[in-house]
Amino acid sequence: MSRFHTTRSLAAAASLAAFLQWQPSTADESTIDVVTSFSILGDMVTEVGGDRVEVITLVGAGEDAHTFIPGPSDVKVLTEAELVIVNGLGFEGWLDRLVEASGSDATLIVATTGIDVLAVEDDHHDEDEHDDHAEQDSHDHDEHAEEASHDYDDHDEHDDDAAEGHAGHDDHGHGPVDPHAWQDVTNAEIYVHNIAEALIAADPDGHEVYEANAERYLDELHDLDHDIREAVARLPEDHRTVVTSHDAFGYYERAYGITFIGAVGVSTDTDPSAGEIADLIRQIREEHIAGVFVESITDSRMIDRIADETGAIVGGVLYSDALSEPDGPAATYVEMMRHNTDMLTSAVSAF
């Protein structure tokens, strides 16, 4: 029996049951229109869907989903979609308002359903509350797709404002869970299962294609996970701490054993205070952390300042929340994970 048909989590099965009877209504049955929230997810859907899907990604390569402000064209994209596949876990703080503005009746799939969610350190929440929030977040997104068509007429005169989603800090803050689950490749395998199930439910005639593509992709991800573990294992255990622009690598840390210190939290829409930067500089000096890394979606000036004041070496650019352009080093999810691992291990080895 193929790995694609192995036992899936109860949470993923529950997500599937909610839309199993849905059938696409498009006149063109050769492909299905799928909207994904950001570039990494768009790549995964393309890998599984192949020629049977038409993928439109809202937050493209090199763009920051944390600070994304939807526009009227995004409202139109959702209106015409058959499937909308999102990360969930609070990553798309603008999503609910965008769906409401579009009046979309597309099926909404949360790709992180069934993942062991990583809690963000927060003095105001305990671990049980983190888990409850994560489960409720996925549930809320699943139910929202059924309610999205309500009151669309009320938004006709306010599409621009609604599409912008009042994109302030409250919309972009992730709350008590870390949404960057794709940074652990074994989590990416769960994404693939959820994506394949969603595509099969929407397009049963294509099930053989989706299953074959998913199986091939899962094999590739299995090899990727193995290679990352081997690369990190070659590093001295006392020499595996780095500083990054923002705290997007918690799942990578948990899975592979490199410690990441983020200059800001899990979202890029807030800046650290002068005191927080001073504390970080002090920590780098005390712990003799030799390497700092810029992320592709963030301004490098803060990391440059930290490097200047500590003598740490800027190890290069990591891709955290977005792929590179097609001619860049991280044009696909697999290439992104290999690039980041190569940057981390080669740079840390040199420090």
Instruction: Tell me the C-alpha distance between 342 and 320, whole Å.
Output: 14
Same domain, 28 and 83: yes
Output the domain CATH number for residue 74: 3.40.50.1980
Same domain, 192 and 141: yes
Look at residues 178, 307, 303 and name the one whose alpha carbon lies nearest to residue 253.
178
Same domain, 125 and 259: no
Give the contacts of 158 (CB within 8 A, at least 6 positions apart). Answer: 101
Residue range 219-227: mean pLDDT, rounded: 98
Same domain, 128 and 275: no
Q: Which of 191, 221, 251 is the last residue of a domain?
A: 221
Torsion of CA 277, 282, 285, 287, to 10 degrees: -100
Q: What is the pLDDT of residue 25?
A: 40
Output the average pLDDT for the chain: 77
Residue environment code for 194-224, b if the CB has 16+ CB neighbours within 10 A, otherwise e: bbbbbbbbbbeebeebbbebbbebbebbeeb
pLDDT surpassing 50 at residue 155: no
pLDDT surpassing 70 at residue 156: no
Same domain, 189 and 334: no
Same domain, 116 and 203: yes
Same domain, 235 and 217: no
Q: Which of 197, 221, 245 is the last residue of a domain?
A: 221
Q: How many domains does the chain divide into?
A: 2
Residue range 73-91: mean pLDDT, rounded: 96
Please classify residue 138 by burial: count the beta carbons closer than 10 Å to its beta carbon, then call 0-12 exposed, 13-18 middle and 19+ buried. buried
Instruction: Tell me the C-alpha distance between 284 and 18, whole Å.
Output: 49
**7 φψ region: left (φ > 0), alpha (ψ -120 to 50), beta (else):** beta
Q: Where are the alpha helices (DSSP H) in 81-116?
A: 95-102
pLDDT in tens, 285-335: 777 675 778 665 455 676 677 777 777 666 778 999 999 999 999 999 999
Instruction: Tell me the C-alpha distance between 276 and 296, whole Å.
Output: 22
Percent of the chain with pLDDT over 70: 66
Same domain, 193 and 261: no
Same domain, 192 and 248: no
Instruction: Tell me the C-alpha distance between 279 and 302, whole Å.
Output: 14
Same domain, 269 and 137: no
Q: Which residues pair with 83 in a beta bridge?
A: 34, 107
Same domain, 207 and 283: no
Instruction: Tell me the C-alpha distance between 306 and 333, whole Å.
Output: 29
State the residue range of the domain holding 155: 3-221
Please state, as a whole number, how many other Cβ atoms lie within 10 Å of the Cβ of residue 170.
8
Same domain, 342 and 215: no
- What HEC string does 250-279 produce? HHHHHHHCCEEEEEECCCCCCCCCHHHHHH
Q: Which of 190, 221, 252 is the last residue of a domain?
A: 221
Predicted TM-score (pTM) of this structure: 0.74
